[in-house]
Structure 1
């Protein structure tokens, strides 16, 4: 369990420090995560293909089994919301693939690629988004990754 916490912290530090070194090149990095349903549904290669075809470079990746503590920390901004217990249960229900992805305008382009993170909204506003193919997640800014 501690190994996962150390790894996530390490990934976030890498993301932040390397984003500073790439500032001159106008490249951004963000954290992407293929959630348990995406892994169970064997969508991993399909999603990674879409990511690369969309101009992103997958800089780092690691398959992890998150525990309750890590999920609670990662999604702490939702801790007071009614769906939080279900979110924790879902995110600990199977492995996730965590990736650091990079490109110019990575954050905005990633947001546009995946569409809304709410599956109900995605079905209406972005019917062809990858959120419909398999659940994925992202951190919108490197500063959020520091939390």
Structure 2
């Protein structure tokens, strides 16, 4: 186990013995949940609104009948420096359109100090019974 622990050092993963000769690798449990400041919560609300607005502009992305996790790295001014899709919607054209929409994103607010990056967010399907989250254009 010592060799595995050394190998996993700094990855956020940990080995757990599940049997005499079996080990599984899992995400290291966090010691405590990080509390967000009011400023960070407000910024994340602006970020979420900006993402929805960008997704609403695209034919491939506006229907939001998909689920996808993404990671974002932002500049000090709120522009996306890097966007990474953590999986696929099952439609490569849509995945590409989402990646492009995220790259265009520029939040009007500056990220607050201490906001840890990358930001990991889940793009979830729109609420059942709701026709669209997008305004008429």
- After TM superposition, the score normalised by the length of structure 1 is 0.28
Higher relative contact order (CA 8 A, sep 6+): 1
Which structure has the bigger radius of gyration?
2
| Structure holding more helix per residue | 1
